[in-house]
Structure 1
Amino acid sequence: MTERWMDQDAGPIVRPYTVTRGRTRPRGDSFDLIATVSAIRPAPPDLPPEHRRVLAACRRPISVAEAASTTGLAVGVVQVLLGDLRDSGLLTVRIPAAAVAAPRESILRDVLAGLRAL
């Protein structure tokens, strides 16, 4: 029976919807790929193996994209599992600051004119 769920080259065959119990999005806020996640508590003994793998990848601060790459799980699956871990109080999430908007051209022209006047 075990051979049926194991591929010699690919490893265990488990569908992503099985790992996430059919969920395609995390509960609560979703995760940006560049959000930084970090484990704050060790894994409890009853934590499922995929959750353990993701939590282990987050021992040091790591982006969501890196966590997916490190674990070999699909990004969508990792986002759902990270949501579970966040909701359980096992990790923290730092959302990156929004990109600063570029200054208007008129401001740049005024600065340039001021510099030339010096």
Structure 2
Amino acid sequence: MNGHDDLVARPVPLHMVIGGHGSPRLTAWRPETVFVARPGAALADSTSPERRSIVGLCRHPLAAVEIAAHTRLPTSVVLVLASDLVDGGVLSVRTAARTDGPSTDLLERVLDGLLKL
């Protein structure tokens, strides 16, 4: 059994997994927020298996939703755990650059063109 299978085989109430708090430190984090383990960051011996699994997965940049799929934890739980790991200096967060998107005028012209087809 690998570490991820251990998480699935061991039922633990989610409020126990996240240590009783219910939201990540930064509410701006979203399912597509990317986390990466900080090189050389050490985990305490008391670090939970869920947090250890997240750090192991984040050796390469990985989005919260992908971490959730691998660990079979809800994305909201992954965001809380990742927030704790960022606070502890174990993970770094990388946010995607936001763009304003296409202008309303452009979208209207595209729609007009589609309607003429």
Interval containing the TM-score (normalised by the shorter chain): 0.7 to 0.9
Determine the C-alpha separation between the residues in 2 that align with 1:73 and 1:11.
12
Identity percentage of aligned residues: 30
The alpha-carbon deviation at position 30 of structure 1 amounts to 4.2
Structure 2 unaligned segments of length 5 or more: list them.
1-7, 110-117
Q: What amino acid is aligned across from residue 64 of structure 2 in structure 1?
A: V
Determine the C-alpha separation between the residues in 2 that align with 1:86 and 1:64.
13
The alpha-carbon deviation at position 104 of structure 1 amounts to 4.8
When residues 57 and 18 of structure 1 are mapped into structure 2, their CA distance, relative to the original with a 3 A threshold, is same
Q: Who is 2:74 aligned against?
A: 74
The alpha-carbon deviation at position 11 of structure 1 amounts to 1.4
Relative to structure 2, which stretch is displaced further, 54-63 or 43-52?
43-52
Q: What amino acid is aligned across from residue 21 of structure 2 in structure 1?
A: R
TM-score scaled by length of structure 1: 0.73
For the residue of structure 2 that corresponds to 1:96, the secondary structure is: coil
For the residue of structure 1 that corresponds to 2:25, the secondary structure is: coil
Greater RCO, CA 8 A, separation 6+ = 2
Please list, as runs of the form range in 1=range in 2, the aligned pairs for 1:76-91 lying within 5 A after superposition: 76-91=76-91
Q: What amino acid is aligned across from residue 94 of structure 2 in structure 1?
A: R
Alpha-carbon RMSD across the aligned residues, in angstroms, is 2.1
Q: What amino acid is aligned across from residue 18 of structure 1 in structure 2?
A: M
Q: What amino acid is aligned across from residue 94 of structure 1 in structure 2?
A: R
Determine the C-alpha separation between the residues in 2 that align with 1:13 and 1:46.
19
Q: Which one has a bigger Cα radius of gyration?
A: 1
Check whether the contact 1:36–1:61 (CA below 8 A) recurs between aligned residues: yes
Please list, as runs of the form range in 1=range in 2, the aligned pairs for 1:34-113 lying within 5 A after superposition: 34-40=32-38, 41-105=41-105
The alpha-carbon deviation at position 76 of structure 1 amounts to 1.2
Instruction: Provide Cα deviations, 1:27-48, integer angstroms capped at 9, x if missing partner.
Output: 2344211111000124332312
When residues 61 and 21 of structure 1 are mapped into structure 2, their CA distance, relative to the original with a 3 A threshold, is same
Q: Who is 2:11 aligned against?
A: 13
